Amino acid sequence: MKLVFFSAQPYDKSFFTQFNQNKHELVFIDIPLSEQTAELAAGADAVCVFVNDKVTADVIQKLATGKTKIIALRCAGFNNVDIEAAKAAGIRVCRVPAYSPEAVAEHAVAMLLTLNRKTHKAYNRVREQNFSLQGLLGFNLHGKTIGVIGTGNIGKAFCKIMLGFGCKVVAFDLIANKEMESDGVVYQPLMDVLKADIISLHCPLNEQTKHLINKDTIALMKRGVVLINTSRGGLINTHDTIKALKSGQISALGIDVYEQEEKLFFRNLSEDIIQDDEIQRLMSFPNVLITAHQAFFTQEAMEQIATTTLNNIQLLSENAKLNPQAALLA
């Protein structure tokens, strides 16, 4: 089979080549999939896409014209794919529903600890032989209330870590996880979870969750709340969040995702003038920490992404049954 990878990075080539046990023909393209680039997949049995590829109805039609039969997402989220258009075109869609959820959960904790204890600032300060502690004051996580929105695989892993810190963990999800409740997580209505000292987002992006964090929900939060988002950029209304940072309603923000990230992330723009005023404003705050969608990026996660994606493609090509979570189209 011929598989074409869009938005491919050097590490994608390394891991997928290493785990290509069925000796498929792998073609790696570093530009995103779009209406303008879809023709590059002509003749491919499958295309493999990532979070910022735009798999619209028009793109899907071009893929179908080029005889592509499978769209494989090497990620969990699929809000960037027009599933109904794929069904109509007879194209199967699969994803990686879970890949080392601990990777993303641990990154969320790393962002929280960095913002709180200011280790990034301390590192730079000591390198300049400045050993002052002024401005580095943090707080104990032990005893704080952590609000977790979404308790799927990643949210569950995050909850377990924070319980280990001695935090009180409250959570909101459409369905309470009985296992998590027995571990000590208290499920509450969203309005109550928003009153936590620290809020971490671990939910998918859809019509119900888009801009979940906005001026109205921010107003319900405790003044000085710490907000962490390692899920999807569209969960946060950036304009409203900037206002809350300026007023002090949000005391610290850690984001590994950004609503307009497809124009920025996974690229070296160090020589460019970035035209996105909102990301520039966020980067100007001393209490904002931004990483470029790297929460998933561990050895274990990359191995699972590569093996699961290639296995999904192989099974679909054989008309075999996939894990119901992995196969978005039966």
Contact 226, 116 (CB under 8 A): yes
3-state SS, residue 128: coil
Structure token pair of residue 238: 């950036």
Handedness of CA 174, 234, 73, 151 (dihedral sign): negative
Residue 314 burial (10 A CB sphere; 0-12, 13-18, 19+): middle
- Residue 80's nearest CA partner among 208, 232, 201 is 232
Phi, psi angles (nearest 5°) of residue 293: 55, 50
Q: Give how far Cα 128 sits from Cα of 125, 131, 134, 286, Å.
A: 5, 9, 15, 18
Strand partners, 171: 148, 187
Q: Which residues are catalytic?
A: 232, 261, 293
How far is the C-alpha of 314 from the C-alpha of 1, rounded, in Å? 9
Q: What Rg, from alpha-carbon coordinates, does the chain have? A: 21
Contact 276, 259 (CB under 8 A): no
CA angle 205, 210, 215 (to 5 degrees): 140
